[in-house]
Amino acid sequence: MKILLTIAYDGTNYFGWQIQKGQITVQEEIERGLKALFGKAIEVRGASRTDSKVHALGQRATFSVETTIPMKGLPHALNNHLPKDIRIMRAEQVSANFHPQYSAKSKTYCYKIYNAPIINPIYNNYAWHVKPSLDISAMKSGALALVGEHNFLSFCATGSSAKTFVRNIYSIEIEKSNTGNGNGNENGHQLIEISVTGNGFLYNMVRIIAGTLAYVGYGKISATAMPKILAAQDRTKSGITAPPQGLTLMQVNYGFEYSHKT
C-alpha cells in the first residue's frame, strides 16, 4: 500500500530535504525512521525539495509498505524513531498511481521578514532580518504584477534545468503583524509574512520573489517596474535571493479531502 505523510520540520540543522552524500537531510532521517519501524529499507519521495535551513509545516511524501498499523497511529509510531525537529503530522493511504509532486494541484510557501533595526533573536533561524522600514502597500502593489500565468525566468536561480519557466501564481498575500512588547520597545515583533500559492515553483523562486519585494519595500525597485522585470526574462533584473531561513513550505494541495481526521 502507498502512504502519504504530512511532515513538519525545523530545517535549521538540516541540509534540506533531499538525500545528499555526507550531509544530514530530512529525507534521510525519515528513511532511517521507516527502516527502524518496519525493519527494511524504504524509499520516500517528497513533494518539494526544500533547501538547507528551509522549514516545512506541510511537506508531503509517499512511500510503499505492507503494514497493519492503522493510519491514525502511524505518525506516533514513526515519530518515536525520528529526531524531535522532524514530526510526522498525519498519514493516509493513497492510490498506487498517486505521486506527491506530480499529483499536486498547488503549493503554498510563506516567507517571513523581520523588519526592525534590531532583530528579536528568537527569530534568527526563522526569518530574514531587514533593517530599513518596508512599505507594505508598495510591496502588495508590486506583488500584484506577479499573480497569474507568466514566464518566471527572471525569478529563477541561474543554471536551472527546468523545461519551461511558465508557472501560474494564484495568489500572493502580504501581512504585517506588529505587537511590540510595550517596553516602549518598537522591536517587539514586526513580522512581514509573504504567502505565495502557485501551481509550481522554479528553483529559488519564492526566495527571489521575497528578495525583490523587499527591494520594492525600501524603494530600490519601483512597484511599477515589476511587469518589465517579468518581461525581461532575465535573472539580473530582479532582486536578491532572500536567505533560506525565512522560508516555510506551508501546504501542498492535492484537491482531495482527507479520509482520516486525527
User: CA of 186: how far to CAs of 67, 129, 180, in Å?
Assistant: 54, 15, 6
Q: Which residue among 14, 16, 90, 238 contacts a copy of itself (CB under 8 A)?
A: 90
Biggest CA-to-CA distance, the chain = 59
Per-residue string for binding with a copy of itself, 27-66, x by CB under 8 A? Answer: ----------------------------x-xx--------
Report, in Å, the least distance between residue 64 CB and a copy of itself. 22
Which of 10, 51, 85, 234 is an active site residue?
51
Contact window for a copy of itself (CB under 8 A) among 29-37, 83-91, 165-173, 228-236: 83-91
Q: Annotated catalytic, 85?
A: no
**CA atoms of 40 and 159, how far apart (whole Å):** 37
Per CB under 8 A, 87 contacts a copy of itself? yes
Which C-beta is closer to a copy of itself: that of 57 or that of 65? 57
**CA atoms of 41 and 63, how far apart (whole Å):** 11
Contact window for a copy of itself (CB under 8 A) among 16-24, 94-102, 117-125, 147-155: 117-125
Per CB under 8 A, 69 contacts a copy of itself? no
141-180 binders of a copy of itself (CB under 8 A): none
Contact window for a copy of itself (CB under 8 A) among 94-102, 114-122, 136-144, 164-172: 114-122
**CA atoms of 208 and 155, how far apart (whole Å):** 6
Residues pairing with 9 in the sheet: 56, 86
**Amino acid letter, residue 35:** K
Which C-beta is closer to a copy of itself: that of 15 or that of 203? 15
Other beta carbons within 10 Å of 70: 10
Report, in Å, the least distance between residue 131 CB and a copy of itself. 11
User: CA of 256: how far to CAs of 73, 103, 106, 167, 196, in Å?
Assistant: 21, 10, 12, 22, 20
Q: Which residue among 48, 62, 108, 154 contacts a copy of itself (CB under 8 A)?
A: 108
DSSP string, 167-182: EEEEEEEEEEEE---S
Q: Which residue among 3, 74, 88, 208 contacts a copy of itself (CB under 8 A)?
A: 88
Q: Which residue among 3, 5, 6, 29 contacts a copy of itself (CB under 8 A)?
A: 6
Smallest CA-to-CA distance from 139 within 215, 251, 64 is with 215
Other beta carbons within 10 Å of 33: 21
Q: Which residue among 122, 144, 231, 240 contacts a copy of itself (CB under 8 A)?
A: 122
Query: What are the grid coordinates assigned to 57, written together?
Result: 509545516
Q: Are 198 and 107 in contact (CB under 8 A)?
A: yes
Annotated catalytic residues are: 51
Binding site for a copy of itself (CB under 8 A): 6, 8-10, 55, 57-58, 75, 79, 84-90, 108, 117-122, 124, 126, 181-188, 250-253, 257-258, 261-262
